[in-house]
Structure 1
Amino acid sequence: MPASDLSRAALSTVRVWLVGGGKMGGALLTGWLDNGVAPDNVTIIDPAPGRVPQGVRLAADPAAPLAEGPAPDVLVLAVKPQIMDDVLPAYRSLGDGTTVALSVAAGRLIAGFEAALGAGTPVVRSIPNTPAAVHRGMTVACANAHVTETARATCDALLGAVGDIAWVDDEALIDAVTAVSGSGPAYVFWLTECMARAGVEAGLPEALAARIARATVSGAGALMDQAEEDPATLRRNVTSPNGTTAAALDELMNDRAGLGPLMTRAVAAAARRSRELAG
């Protein structure tokens, strides 16, 4: 979902430091540049980044950009959660209330960023997912009390450049968000694998089973994205009474052993692990 015209105007002048130029950082950067962020307003801080687009500045460590100034409007923290504690102290001088710290790291609480950067630091915690790489991501974000409306709109535009964006006021909901959308693409990929395997068991050649499973899942997703009907209606629309789809759904919709109870347990397990990682 592209940024709005207003967001494009705001993005054209925003200064961004991207700490971590890996897959998620790279996906965000591509979205920003496609939606109006000026390359020379972006600095990637990473000793070994991926592709660096023309015009974007690169620093191996934060010392150079901190010395050069000016401070960024948004400090995007896109490093792995397990090294975040080693990275944050270098940016404490930015915790004066003018730079927004925007995290895309799972399992890292707002309170942790406030402790590392300063109690008055505006912090936005967000959970994007991997379809951001093709600008079809789903991101949910939560802001602390120091984030102004202007800063929130800027973060909304940056995150919205790679897909859909929603906000929650209760940070505790982020664990459930992580379990549904953050981890969700893996569930869909596993479903595709299972469909392909089942096709082989039913007699299809392996390559054909893999091809039609992949195309069916991606095509159904595209249809759902464009349709006005909700998923339940779409499901009913393709299910003839006593037909082949109904026979399969009788298995998948079993109250005790079907996909519904299994997915509930899976999401609960992911949310529980998210809470454990957050400490």
Structure 2
Amino acid sequence: MKLIDNTKSPLNVLDQVGVKPEGPVIGYVHSIESFGSVDGPGIRFVAFLQGCRMRCQYCHNPDTWNIGVGDEMTADEVLDNAERYRAFWGETGGITCSGGESLVQIDFLLDLFTKAKARHISTCLDTSGGPFTRSEPWFSKFKQLMKVTDISLVDIKHINSAEHKKLTGIGNENILDMIQWMSHNDCDMWIRHVLVPQRTDYDNYLTELGDYIKTLDHVQKVEVLPYHTLGVKKYHELGITYPLEGIEPPTADRVKNAEQLLHTADYTGWKTWRPQW
């Protein structure tokens, strides 16, 4: 598989992924997980969408980077598949769109989530916010998407923009702008942060991130995700140099320290959260 550098692709080109002059909106799906237990509230059907412009050093799915490839599916095809597992969802479960970066395919997301809500299916967006912009027509699409999104899992890679750029290839100004907009517009969210030794596991940055999260509204949960090396094999198979070669996962003490500095115990809304109908 040849990986294409999509990091420099113009935004207006990326906005057209999946859009065809006639017929249904097409989504490019990397893979499906029918019984996801860590991808939002409850048990969820997870569609991992293809495409991402970030190049996170710890990414464990480099095979999701290419844009405009993958299994072509319509929203109805995804939802028909998902509904086979509805019995497992209970009051909080439903579907989650992850990636890659889901927002690369915002037209497909909007079509999928709109139709999901019409079927009384709870929707969850898993995003790092990289494509966010207030430029039109993208911003209007995003605002409409949020109206049919019950909750978002937002991954803040690094609170410091310069360090964020070193870690992912882009700064974080637009990402924090997205989070601020969500906070001000009643969008429920979980905040996630990957703890990586020698990259994000520094007390000063963790403290700054914890203080930032305190300023936000509608944060239902804060999670520390320990870095792991499960994706290293994919890099070798794809012929890509793994950027964090030799860096081991954080110790249990460092994970606990991060949880304390991010005040994860203070965010308990997820325990009683329910989608609004």
Q: TM-score, normalised by structure 2?
A: 0.32
Asked which structure has the greater CA Rg, the reply is: 1
Q: TM-score, normalised by structure 1?
A: 0.31
* Larger relative strand fraction: 2
* Larger relative helix fraction: 1
